[in-house]
Chain A
Amino acid sequence: MTISVAMTVNGKSVSGKVEARTLLVQFLREHLGMTGTHVGCDTSQCGACVVHVDGQSVKSCTMLAVQAEGAKVTTIEGLAPSADKLHPMQEAFRDNHALQCGFCTPGMVMSAIDMVKRHNYQLDEATVRRELEGNLCRCTGYHNIVKAILAAAPAMKSAGV
């Protein structure tokens, strides 16, 4: 049995027919072909799948597509303001070499943006490390991810994002 679902993804209205068990991440990847959001585990622990749903970071593998009915979803594909300009968090990740294989990166970036906002652009190293509890990276040793997030916080503030 399929169920119709409709939501806004990166500012565009989308809809589709899904099974009740279809996860939000499956809907994004398999129905919409938006493969920027990754799946790294089956126990909701790696954070590779983090997207924003109505402005909050959510592990899209823990949510059914139908639960996002009517929601505003932002994925990694929807962050950059234009083709040649990146979001300050993306910029900071690049400048600080906060990614290697890039697989954890979409989830890291989405989590990090939410983290910066929740902490009102004020972060210290210990807070960033603690807040990254739900995101695993096997490549970077986190060192440069922490650096990037600390650098992005003031940049996001001055860019007003």
Chain B
Amino acid sequence: MTSATGIGARVVRTEDKRFLTGTGRYVDDLPLARATYAYFLRSPHAHAKIKSIDISAAEKSPGVVNIFTGKDLVDAKVGGLICGWVVKDKNGEPHKSPPHPVMAVDTVRYVGDTVAMVVANSYDEAKDAAEAIRVDYEVLPAIVDLAKAFDKGAPQVHAEAPGNLIYDWEIGVKADVDAAFAKAAHVTKMDIVNNRLIPNAMEPRAAAAEYDKGTGNYTLWSTSQNPHVLRLILSAFVLGIPEHKLRVIAPDVGGGFGSKIFCYADETMVCWAASRVGRPIKWTAERTESFQTDCHGRDHVTHAELALDKDGKFLALKVETIANMGAYLSTFSTAVPTYLYATLLAGQYTTPLIYANVKAAVTHTAPVDAYRGAGRPEATFVIETIVSKAAAELKMDPAELRRKNFIPAEAFPYQTPVALQYDSGNYPPIIDEAMRIADYAGFEARRAEAKSRGKLRGIGFSSYIEACGLAPSQVIGQLGGGVGQWESAQIKFNPTGNVQVITGSHSHGQGHETTFAQLVHDRLGVPMDQIEVVHGDTSTTTFGMGTYGSRSLAVGGSAIMKATDKIIAKGKKIAAHLMEADVADVVFENGTFKVAGTDKAVPLAQAVFAAYVPHNYPLAEIEPGMDENAFYDPANFVYPAGTQICEVEIDPETGIVEVIAHTAVDDFGNIINPMIVEGQVHGGIVQGVGQALFEGAVYDKNTGQLLSGSFMDYTMPRADNFPSFKLGYKVTPCPHNPLGVKGCGEAGAIAAPAAVMNAVHNALAPIGVKHVEMPATPLNVWQSIQGAQRAAAE
């Protein structure tokens, strides 16, 4: 069925009205009677021994209810926070797992590490009291510089991780790759840094908890992207509260981008303390705390080499990466620079041999984990930068070199040398369309015109692939992941014919309340305003793995489709009974059961009513009620792909880079709501351009202080940093999920950094600049220009 509000329609969002009228309900908005407020005392040092903590003065501060320190947790036998993904070292050993106490006991390991929790009658009183806590620290040397983490004599973060090494992991056969390099006509080499980012969802993380003495039940409200996963971790590993006695609710959540996937110390404390305090507890991070304690993203140092034959065919790729884990291993941190990174290094190309070696390091910095794209932006940045560099070295057109090496359409399904099997795709038409939209043919004229104004103009490509729609559970299990990766859906009709769609996915901006309703409307013919999408509460949803890795539609949407199948199958039986027809003759069209070739018809609503008021109903054969559950476990990842083209202008006097145009053409498979998809791409591009030009977490190399710890010091992309974007689509439907969809949430952020940096390098090449690191701030660019001019003068 296709209607004005069905699959493929630009339906305005149902959720918008509450957000536009100030009636959304985020965690901090909850009115909780008799609430207390928590404030966390954080470590001001990157590395220190805690010699003593004196809370006696603070306890007398007005309004204080309770103060907890790490020692209280030890006494209560609270477990540490966990890393849920076991990555095996080169030698088959599991990665090093240093303990991650919820609150520091004797050592703090990054600025922001949690030291004490103050609970008071008001937030300001809690904060005032925290100032009266006396912590005697013995400050120790810290290591924050990733490139030096493995140096002899570097300060050690954990005794359990000698040399600061968490794992030394590899994929591919090094000897084969080396042999290919020996025969190469050309080798391109590159050293690059993938800069560390701070997610900065606009809603700071928050938690609130309540304990019901009568039932022994806990309720935790959290800014979580995956409330069931949070409950599972807290129950099974950290707090030991039985899973059925803990309800986790993630209400409206103001953006996540990965940073709200993980189980954090503060929400754990709020939940744990609720029963001890005996009153509800609320906590919301100040932005400074978000900067210090939200898991950061990226942070790689990489050396890569690409071997090509004389015609420009890629022969082999070799990549060595050091990845920063921060001070502790966060929930999924270990998987990000391995299975979500190195397995993507084939990109869109037929490179037959790939070897990657990844060493993960601990440092005295905030934990690093998945951030929009998680591993895949880092992989794309490596591939797409080195391919453009190779093209420049070989004086080939960068589009031409890409086209020469694209996996041809007829080669799908395509087995890469790094484990993944791409299910579908057709890359050449994507780059063609991007070049058409970006008017690539007219670029040299624009460059010449810019030159006449004293500006350096450049253009850059980035052709990305991502594996998302996480994920086939058995594959994840084989790779060391600790959870299943299916999704659940429930379609629950009410007797009056309206319907609740209960999903295990979680929306924190993605618009599921609209997109998922469109699916059900399209499939079952129920009007949009009769459909309610319910999510984010462990007590209303069967179970759910939540939202990350662009999985909600491909996996969660597929589960919904499976549940609609069951509704239709049951409805057919009821309708057959009501029409006195054979089930085999009943068809379902536009919301009505019919018997082909007759005028007999039973609308779905009538079958639903009969199911709840089963007076004339085949009770001997089918149960009453119309409520179906489905779990969907994907057969493979999904593989969105696309090309972005960025055009920049650089002022050589100031080093300011201006994005003049940015084009993205994507293959997301079938599209349910183009309006929402465009929004996802826009937002992703801005995060990607943000990484390339503006954003970067900076720790002071000596003191380990976070220098970029506020919006004054960390450059967030703003509206006037961008032009309007130009988007296009090509569609190859995903062959293995019922909707043919691929996922669009991360693509923008995955592809953009390389497109921007290739444009920057393209602009600066004529004046001899060889390399600029991200973020290409005016200072970085200006210094690179000065360096090139000095080198030319010598």
CA distance A138 to B687 in the complex (A): 8
Chain A contacts for B124, CB-based, 8 A: 19, 21
Whether A102 contacts B15 by the Cβ 8 Å rule is yes
Whether B16 contacts A101 by the Cβ 8 Å rule is no
CA distance A90 to B19 in the complex (A): 10
Chain B contacts for A103, CB-based, 8 A: 26, 201-203, 254-255
Chain B contacts for A141, CB-based, 8 A: 679, 681-687, 722, 725, 748
**Quick check: is B792 within 8 A (CB to CB) of the other chain?**
no
Stretch at the interface among A65-73, A104-112, A153-161: A104-112
CA distance A101 to B253 in the complex (A): 7
Question: Smallest CB–CB gap between B40 and chain A, Å?
Answer: 14
CA distance A126 to B29 in the complex (A): 35
From A79, A101, A109, A132, contact of B203 by CB (8 A): A101
Stretch at the interface among A52-60, A92-100, A116-124: A92-100
Whether B20 contacts A109 by the Cβ 8 Å rule is yes
**Quick check: is A50 within 8 A (CB to CB) of the other chain?**
no
**Quick check: is A15 within 8 A (CB to CB) of the other chain?**
no
From B284, B678, B725, contact of A97 by CB (8 A): B678
Whether B16 contacts A142 by the Cβ 8 Å rule is no
CA distance A79 to B21 in the complex (A): 7
Chain A contacts for B252, CB-based, 8 A: 101-102
From A76, A90, A104, A129, contact of B722 by CB (8 A): A129
**Quick check: is B168 within 8 A (CB to CB) of the other chain?**
no
CA distance A132 to B31 in the complex (A): 32
Chain A contacts for B682, CB-based, 8 A: 140-144
CA distance A46 to B202 in the complex (A): 8
Most buried by B among A21, A100, A103, A105: A100
Question: Smallest CB–CB gap between A73 and chain B, Å?
Answer: 13
CA distance A40 to B205 in the complex (A): 10
Whether A100 contacts B288 by the Cβ 8 Å rule is no
By secondary structure, the A interface counts as: loop
Chain B contacts for A101, CB-based, 8 A: 19, 201-203, 252-255, 508-509
From A36, A43, A136, A143, contact of B202 by CB (8 A): A136
**Quick check: is B237 within 8 A (CB to CB) of the other chain?**
no
Residues of B4-37 at the interface with A, using a CB-CB cut-off of 8 Å, are 12-13, 15-26, 28-29, 31
Residues of B264-296 at the interface with A, using a CB-CB cut-off of 8 Å, are 284, 286-288
Q: Which residue of A lies closest to B255 (CB)?
A: A101
**Quick check: is A48 within 8 A (CB to CB) of the other chain?**
yes
Whether B683 contacts A138 by the Cβ 8 Å rule is yes
**Quick check: is A113 within 8 A (CB to CB) of the other chain?**
no
Whether A100 contacts B287 by the Cβ 8 Å rule is no
**Quick check: is B774 within 8 A (CB to CB) of the other chain?**
no
Contact flags (1/0) for B112-146 with A, using CB distance below 8 Å? 00000000000010000000000000000000000
Most buried by A among B255, B257, B284, B286: B255
**Quick check: is B412 within 8 A (CB to CB) of the other chain?**
no
Chain A contacts for B200, CB-based, 8 A: 138
Question: Smallest CB–CB gap between B686 and chain A, Å?
Answer: 4
Chain B contacts for A29, CB-based, 8 A: 28-29
Contact flags (1/0) for A18-40 with B, using CB distance below 8 Å? 01010000000100011111111
CA distance A106 to B678 in the complex (A): 22
CA distance A116 to B198 in the complex (A): 33
From A37, A94, A102, A140, contact of B254 by CB (8 A): A102
Whether B686 contacts A136 by the Cβ 8 Å rule is no
**Quick check: is A3 within 8 A (CB to CB) of the other chain?**
no
Q: Which residue of B lies closest to A93 (CB)?
A: B20
Question: Smallest CB–CB gap between B642 and chain A, Å?
Answer: 16
Question: Smallest CB–CB gap between B721 and chain A, Å?
Answer: 8
**Quick check: is A86 within 8 A (CB to CB) of the other chain?**
yes
Whether A77 contacts B23 by the Cβ 8 Å rule is yes
Chain B contacts for A139, CB-based, 8 A: 202, 255, 509, 679, 683
Q: Which residue of A lies closest to B710 (CB)?
A: A43
CA distance A78 to B229 in the complex (A): 38
Chain A contacts for B288, CB-based, 8 A: 42
CA distance A105 to B678 in the complex (A): 18
Chain B contacts for A43, CB-based, 8 A: 287, 710-712
From A33, A48, A138, contact of B31 by CB (8 A): A33
Question: Smallest CB–CB gap between A113 and chain B, Å?
Answer: 12
Q: Which residue of A lies closest to B676 (CB)?
A: A97
CA distance A140 to B201 in the complex (A): 12
Q: Which residue of B lies closest to A33 (CB)?
A: B31
Q: Which B residues are within 8 Å of any A CB, using their own CB?
A: 12-13, 15-26, 28-29, 31, 124, 200-204, 252-255, 257, 284, 286-288, 508-511, 675-676, 678-679, 681-687, 710-712, 716, 718-720, 722, 724-725, 748
Task: Other than A33-B31, A76-B21, give 5 A-B pairs with Cβ distance below 8 A.
Answer: A43-B710, A45-B712, A48-B202, A102-B20, A142-B686
Which 6 pairs of residues, A with B, have the shortest CB-CB distance?
A36-B22, A102-B19, A103-B254, A101-B509, A141-B682, A100-B509
Provide 22 A-B residue pairs closer than 8 Å at the C-beta atoms, listed in order of the A residue: A19-B124, A37-B22, A39-B284, A41-B287, A42-B710, A46-B202, A76-B22, A90-B20, A90-B21, A93-B16, A94-B16, A99-B19, A101-B202, A101-B254, A132-B718, A133-B718, A136-B716, A136-B718, A139-B679, A140-B679, A143-B722, A144-B682
